[in-house]
Structure 1
Amino acid sequence: MKTFHNHGGILPGTSTRREVLRAASALALGSGCAGWSLADTKATGGAWPDKPVRLVIAGPAGGSPDMVARALSDQLGRSTKQAFIVDPKPGGAGVIALNELLQAPVDSYTLLVGVSSLVSEIPHIVKMRHDTRKAIVPLAELARGGIVLVAAPELPVKNLKDVIELSRASKDGLSYASYSPGTMSHVAGLIMGQTTGARLTHVAYKGSTAGLNDLMGGHIPLMFDGLATSLPFIRSGKIKAIAITSPQRSPLLPEVPTFQEQGLPQLTYTGWLGLWANSALPADKQQAIRQTVLQAMDTPEFKSTLAGAGFEPGTHRDSAMLRAELLSDYDRVGKVLQGTNLRP
């Protein structure tokens, strides 16, 4: 998935810092887990956990990270016979949760569940005390999903070519919504305009809900949004999906082609929800946690919960691979935003 991740755009006017924080903090995903054996933990340097574990959530109660964390904690609790405490810390675009993790003892009993944009996107728009590229490490990719370009139901377009041609033919081009400036949902429109000549004007919203409401009401023609939040409205016919940024078609929306299929490989991206630790945590402890969590992710219950929430299961990519993608996406987003007035 990645390759790019979560919600954004260029502001036609101005936006307060508070608006940006509120919108960015809405980013997220969702659900499932289980599986642990003594043999596995012996192989990774000792049993984990042997006491309750706190999962700090970068987002509000009921949001995607919270739902995924609760599903995970349920499965891990059953398999390890230990308590997993879900502790939502919303606000500050994830910065509050991040600080909570980094101020806790580095002992593997305080972990964070949050979106990949904590590293790849948020630092470009929010001033942070810590450099997330160095301060935290992804232990596992729990869930993933692409960004989908959706259109108002009455907009006379069926595919990406139609959207591009209509934007060029319209006197003022077409406007598109994002769920927050500076995120993938904003950057995707910039890339599309730069690479195809489409005339697109960004309008930033405070999260997906407000943007989707205006899209369904015909007040804005287009939106780049996370698949999880758009999926129910796509299935009900209240909005129509044009293209998705994932490398392959989503099994949750198999009839919708990718941007790559429609001639725009530059818009290949997948965002993900991960389990994170303080990067100072010793490698053997990181591995013990990872092995336990991967088994939980492979359970049918966890995968079913993800599908119900509009997410695909995370991959088993290791921390080094995930980090390499994060750094690549960080650079990619930064370059696209250079011509805007967005600064942390």
Structure 2
Amino acid sequence: MTLARLLRALVPSLVPALAAAAALLAIAPAAPALAQGERPLRILVGYPAGGTADLAARLVGDKLRETLGQTVVVENKPGAGGRLVMDYARGLPADGNTLVVANSAVMTIAPLVYRKLNYDLRRDFAPVAQIANFQLALAAGPGTPAKSLREYIDWLKASPAKNNSYASPALGSIPHFFGLLFGKQVGVEMLHVPFNGSAPLMNALVGAQVPASVDTLADLAEMHRAGKIRVLASSGTQRSAALPDVPTFTELGYKDIEGVGRYGFLAPAGTPQATLDRLNAAIVQALRSPDLRERFLRLGLEPQSGSAAQFAKVLAADASRWGPVVKSSGYTGD
């Protein structure tokens, strides 16, 4: 039999097999995606790219990508001091594909100061895991001669009506209320000067337009290291690894001047418990990574995690702690 006749004889029998192979190849690309639930995990951040919240989200997101075997996308939706993203996220499907990186500003302070807040933390969100604490700090600039907390308090009390102003990055922020807490503990009525963010605040502090400021330790650290400002004390129970030369208020004898902020992950309410447990386990695992912990500490973040139930208890305790401070200030956001 010639080669041509042999091929004509074999082709009819090969057609069904080739068709079946083609069908399998068509299905093959979809199979892994379905098996992995290959919808991306969205991590929403209510602040601009490059900020502490954004960097924390991306660092944890990189680890989740490895652990979950899922694409992770970080989306920045800044606005209204972080409240915009909370309002947006509360209406998203509770399918485990959306997480929000939230801080104490939106989890604790906003519900205390805004009577017409569009979201309700307990109703609209489920705690997933805490990821970090962050310290606050009091800093002095060229507008005050103080080199230490004791010197600043003495200078403050020498002429309180003249020297009592302090800056914060925003009205209704934790630094705003921490400054009032500080004043109450040292016996001086402080005058709050709000700015629209940490950058303009820093310009005013370095330029001696305000004598002192309260902000997150992370936002004050760089200028302190450069010698442009002096961070006098921090708000934690122990010194921050980011600025180990700066004492805490408690070690200086002011045991009631203490308070830290939080970062954590939330999911839309109604997310299945099994999904929340899976995400929590992955986040806790990420926080155990030595390289991630080191990066967090450089940012001025203190890695902290645990179960979702523990995170919920922390949030409840924070509301109880800051509630009286906010109430005594008389400040409302609307």
TM-score range, shorter chain: 0.7 to 0.9
Alignment match, 2:320: 331
Distance 1:308 1:213 in 2: 23
Letter in 1 for 2:294: S
| Residues 168-194 of structure 1 deviation map (CA, whole Å, 9 limit, x = unaligned) | 111523210011122221111211222
**What secondary structure, in the 3-state scheme, does the structure 2 residue paired with 1:275 have?**
strand
| Residues 206-258 of structure 1 deviation map (CA, whole Å, 9 limit, x = unaligned) | 11111111111111111011011111111111110111001111111112111
Letter in 1 for 2:86: L
Distance 2:251 2:137 in 1: 14
Structure 2 residue 267 is the aligned partner of structure 1 residue 277:
yes
Distance 1:88 1:133 in 2: 23
> What is the CA-CA distance between 1:50 and the residue it aligns to?
5.3
Choose 122-131 or 66-75, whichever is displaced more: 122-131
Distance 1:197 1:276 in 2: 38
Residues 124/70 of structure 1: CA separation in 2 closer, same or farther (3 Å cut): same
Letter in 2 for 1:220: V
> What is the CA-CA distance between 1:48 and the residue it aligns to?
8.1
Of the three residues 84, 88, 97, the one matched with 2:72 is 84
Of the three residues 79, 97, 101, the one matched with 1:113 is 101
Structure 2 residue 298 is the aligned partner of structure 1 residue 321:
no
Q: 1:124 touches 1:343 (CA, 8 Å); kept in 2? A: no
Alignment match, 2:112: 124
> What is the CA-CA distance between 1:49 and the residue it aligns to?
6.1
**What secondary structure, in the 3-state scheme, does the structure 1 residue paired with 2:188 have?**
coil
Structure 2 residue 332 is the aligned partner of structure 1 residue 342:
yes
Of the three residues 80, 84, 101, the one matched with 1:96 is 84
Structure 2 residue 275 is the aligned partner of structure 1 residue 297:
no
Distance 2:50 2:72 in 1: 17
> What is the CA-CA distance between 1:51 and the residue it aligns to?
3.6
**Structure 2 length-normalised TM:** 0.82
Distance 1:298 1:49 in 2: 25
Letter in 1 for 2:315: L
Distance 2:289 2:162 in 1: 50
Of the three residues 116, 130, 133, the one matched with 1:144 is 133
Alignment match, 1:164: 153
Structure of higher CA gyration radius: 2
Distance 2:274 2:155 in 1: 55
Distance 1:185 1:124 in 2: 15
Of the three residues 179, 186, 189, the one matched with 1:189 is 179
**Structure 1 length-normalised TM:** 0.80
Structure 2 residue 192 is the aligned partner of structure 1 residue 202:
yes
Distance 2:49 2:61 in 1: 14
Alignment match, 1:244: 234
> What is the CA-CA distance between 1:200 and the residue it aligns to?
2.2
Alignment match, 2:169: 179
| Residues 125-177 of structure 1 deviation map (CA, whole Å, 9 limit, x = unaligned) | 44312211442233222232100101014622233222222111115232100
**What secondary structure, in the 3-state scheme, does the structure 2 residue paired with 1:121 have?**
helix
Select the structure that is richer in helix.
2
Letter in 2 for 1:149: L
Q: 1:145 touches 1:311 (CA, 8 Å); kept in 2? A: yes
Choose 233-242 or 59-68, whichever is displaced more: 59-68
Aligned-pair identity in percent equals 31
Alignment match, 2:63: 75
**What secondary structure, in the 3-state scheme, does the structure 2 residue paired with 1:162 have?**
helix
Structure 2 residue 247 is the aligned partner of structure 1 residue 257:
yes
Aligned length: 297
| Residues 248-296 of structure 1 deviation map (CA, whole Å, 9 limit, x = unaligned) | 1111111211111122222211112111112322322211111011111
Distance 1:124 1:205 in 2: 20
RMSD, matched Cα: 2.0
Distance 1:270 1:134 in 2: 25
Q: 1:208 touches 1:225 (CA, 8 Å); kept in 2? A: yes
**What secondary structure, in the 3-state scheme, does the structure 1 residue paired with 2:133 have?**
strand
Gaps of 5+ in 2: 1-34
Distance 1:96 1:231 in 2: 28
Letter in 2 for 1:291: A
| Residues 16-37 of structure 1 deviation map (CA, whole Å, 9 limit, x = unaligned) | xxxxxxxxxxxxxxxxxxxxxx
Choose 135-144 or 263-272, whichever is displaced more: 135-144
Q: 1:48 touches 1:288 (CA, 8 Å); kept in 2? A: no
Distance 1:135 1:110 in 2: 13
The one of the two structures with greater contact order (alpha-carbon pairs below 8 A, sep at least 6) is 1
